[in-house]
Copies of this chain bind each other. A is one copy, B any other.
Amino acid sequence: MQIAIVLYDRFTALDAVGPYETLGRLPDAETVFVAEETGPVRADTGDLALVADRTLAEVPAPGIVVVPGGPGQTPQMANTALLDWLRAADATSTWTTSVCTGSLLLAAAGLLTGRRATSHWLALDHLAHYGARPTGERVVTDGKYVTAAGVSAGIDMGLTLLGRIAGDDHARAVQLLTEYDPQPPYDAGSPDKAPAHLVAEFRGQGRFTLTQARSR
């Protein structure tokens, strides 16, 4: 089983690394970071690059496709090479998955039409615009399509799918070894829990951009 995690300019790093560190512990699987070209691919902050070890063309038929999101995904939604690869890979994949606004890329490729799916909370309306049926859940499974909410939700998605494929015991082992016993110091991780002024601030910016958090 090959797990292909797709990188593109200005992706959000944790969107990719969450599933890598959980789902990537699938027994007898190979995780491959892929992009249009091999080499470093810079994340949205500009401060970090992950290496794509293989081109999209070199990995035409992965068993699992993982698409991260990020404020940089907008240009990718018109990237026909990437969308063509997603459609072709999806034709033979066992699972097609996304984290955060990665679901917008799947939707732009026409893969989520009429399906229940999720995305970053600021992108749910956008997802509907592309023909999916957004839900407010953190991890949504519709057939072979598994989509996760924003950024950190990729960890929950990775463990969920890992359990589905390799069994609950293996997923619990990975949860234990990654010591995923979350204790956030605040309770502001969703729009219904965060202070209203923060939710309004980000909704008011009209467009999802995580990097704005640094210039507040």
Give A residues with C-beta under 8 Å from B.
Answer: 12-14, 17-18, 20-21, 24-27, 29-33, 40, 45, 47-51, 53, 100, 120-121, 138-139, 149-153, 155-156, 159-160, 163, 168-186, 188-191, 193-195, 198-199, 201-202, 210, 213-216
Contact = CB atoms under 8 A, between A and B. Distances in A.
Contacts of A151: 21, 177-180
A215 B159 contact: no
Q: Count copies of this chain in the complex.
A: 2
Contacts of A139: 183, 185
A121 to B, nearest CB: 6
A159 B185 contact: yes
B48 A20 contact: yes
Contacts of A194: 172-173, 175-176
A26 B25 CA distance: 31
Given A152-B179, A159-B186, A182-B189, A21 B14 contact: yes
A170 B17 CA distance: 23
A173 B216 contact: yes
Contact of A178 (B14, B21, B29, B171): B14
B214 A179 contact: no
B177 A150 contact: yes
A46 to B, nearest CB: 9
